[in-house]
Chains A and B, each alone.
Chain A
Amino acid sequence: SAVISQKPSRDICQRGTSLTIQCQVDSQVTMMFWYRQQPGQSLTLIATANQGSEATYESGFVIDKFPISRPNLTFSTLTVSNMSPEDSSIYLCSAGHQQYEQYFGPGTRLTVT
């Protein structure tokens, strides 16, 4: 298993600004992912964070809007850029040694005003 922490746990941001969310894992993991969960909805995968290379984005998500870094096997960041109220969601980081068994962080609750 893996224990995952995220910072910040919540934030309220102004339209047009950017927020960087940090994800820290307590052990080296192969896979790290970022998800978005809009209010009352299921989780949608944003991207796979690849160590030492560019993230792999899912359809509907682009690097300019959601730049991701993963400098090592235990840490990743997601930036939500040029925010609008539609970006208000919970953003979750997950990690695991295999894609098929993932563990989740507590999430970051973002409100954009």
Chain B
Amino acid sequence: GIQVEQSPPDLILQEGANSTLRCNFSDSVNNLQWFHQNPWGQLINLFYIPSGTKQNGRLSATTVATERYSLLYISSSQTTDSGVYFCAVDTGNQFYFGTGTSLTVIP
């Protein structure tokens, strides 16, 4: 099956800093989503982004499907941004989750 690798696996940021999270996938995909899993375990949809760039407040995402990667940008990070960020890809047959990036924002 398709491999979905995220980097970095762990990230610690000072509040107010910016960061870029990466999602690489090994084969063509139909669609891609970014999720934030908060410390209580709830998965929150951030972006549905099969290609191009989208922005929502301090977050933005870019997917370059031809090069098989997606980036999630977090600007001016806040402690509430802490948690695990997952990308997930749809191959048409199945929805595969990435390995995740665990983000800790310290005040």
Contact = CB atoms under 8 A, between A and B. Distances in A.
A92 B88 CA distance: 15
Interface size class of B (residues with CB under 8 A): 20 to 34
A107 B98 contact: no
Contacts of B62: none
Given A100-B48, A104-B43, A107-B42, A58 B94 contact: yes
Given A33-B95, A42-B97, A43-B86, A100 B33 contact: yes
B45 A42 contact: no
Interface of B: 30-31, 33, 35, 40-43, 45, 48, 50, 86, 88, 90, 92, 94-100
B interface: dominant SS: strand
Q: How large is the interface on A (under 10, 10 to 19, 20 to 34, 35 or more residues)?
A: 20 to 34
19 contacts: A1-B45, A37-B41, A42-B86, A43-B86, A43-B88, A43-B97, A45-B95, A90-B41, A92-B43, A99-B90, A99-B92, A100-B33, A100-B48, A101-B33, A101-B48, A102-B95, A104-B35, A104-B42, A104-B43
